[in-house]
């Protein structure tokens, strides 16, 4: 078992009844576990020339920025509405426990960029779908997805496959 796996804590009925929340903060806080997580994600994509990692507020920033550093790529944030100061593109999405929208700076990616989307967790695939659409609208080329946790029982791969054939890689699958 990799060191981060045993540090992911299940919180039943958070943030609402019926949801089992996967708390990754202990795995971020342990230096060896955090390093292993970032190294395992980066290693999987190390043979690709990735120019930008795209990640979503807020937990996607923690993993995404670290993976970007390991890959020698830049990091581009997707933020909740109203947080980015310049002209943005916006996409709405549905969460396991609500709805929201994400924005990206309109000039953050160019058609020359090769993009990896990174997040701590994929559940319904709603957040990921919004990021795919923002990357596409930016004109960049999406090559893959790296997730720490995939809630496979929600079948996010089917949702992602409806958008793109880019590779999906997860470190921990929850069936
Ligand atoms: O696949 P989905 O159903 O879209 O869910 C996955 C998203 O949910 C969490 O973020 P959340 O929106 O809770 O925001 P946070 O990172 O600010 O806590 C997680 O970090 C993913 O981005
Ligand atoms: N079950 C869950 N645990 C942690 N983050 C989430 N984001 C969406 N669903 C989640």
Which of 57, 42, 53, 39 is CA-nearest to residue 2? 39
Q: Is residue 146 part of a domain?
A: yes
Q: Is 91 in the pocket of ligand 2 (CB under 6 A)?
A: no
pLDDT at 96: 64
For the chain, the domain total comes to 1
Annotation marks residue 96 as catalytic: yes
Q: Is residue 83 part of a domain?
A: yes
Q: Is residue 33 part of a domain?
A: no
Q: Is residue 4 part of a domain?
A: no
Q: Is residue 118 part of a domain?
A: yes
Distance 21 CA to ligand 2 centre (A): 5
Q: Is residue 150 part of a domain?
A: yes
Q: Is residue 54 part of a domain?
A: yes
Q: Is residue 23 part of a domain?
A: no
pLDDT in tens, 2-50: 999 999 999 999 999 999 999 999 999 999 999 999 999 999 999 999 9
CATH code of residue 56: 3.40.50.2020
H-helix or E-strand spanning residue 147:
strand 141-150
Query: What ipTM was predicted for this assembly?
Result: 0.99
Annotation marks residue 86 as catalytic: no
Contacts of 162 (CB under 8 A, 6+ apart): none
* Coil, strand or helix at 168: strand
Q: Is 21 in the pocket of ligand 2 (CB under 6 A)?
A: yes
Question: Is residue 145 within 8 Å of residue 128, measured between CB atoms?
Answer: yes
DSSP secondary structure of 50-68: --EEEEETTHHHHHHHHHH
| Residue of the CA atom closest to atom 2 of ligand 2 | 21
**Residue stretches of the chain with pLDDT short of 50:** none
Instruction: Point out the catalytic residue in the list 2, 5, 57, 59.
Output: 59
Provide the domain limits for residue 52. 48-173
Predicted model pTM? 0.97
């Amino acid at each position: 078992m990799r060191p981060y796996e045993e540090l992911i804590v299940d919180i039943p009925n958070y943030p609402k009844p019926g949801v089992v929340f996967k708390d990754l903060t202990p795995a971020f806080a342990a230096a060896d576990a955090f390093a292993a997580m970032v190294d395992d994600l980066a290693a999987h994509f190390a043979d690709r020339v990735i120019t930008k990692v795209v990640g979503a507020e807020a937990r996607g920033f923690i993993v995404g920025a670290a993976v970007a550093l390991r890959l020698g790529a830049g990091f581009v944030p997707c933020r909740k509405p109203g947080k980015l100061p310049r002209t943005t593109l916006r996409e709405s999405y549905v969460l396991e426990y609500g709805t929201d929208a994400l924005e990206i700076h309109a000039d953050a990616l160019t058609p020359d960029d090769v993009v990896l989307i990174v997040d701590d967790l994929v559940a319904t695939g709603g957040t990921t779908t919004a990021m795919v659409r923002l990357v596409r609208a930016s004109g960049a080329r999406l090559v893959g997805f790296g997730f720490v946790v995939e809630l496979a029982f929600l079948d996010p791969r089917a949702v992602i496959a409806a958008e793109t054939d880019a590779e999906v890689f997860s470190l921990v699958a929850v069936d």
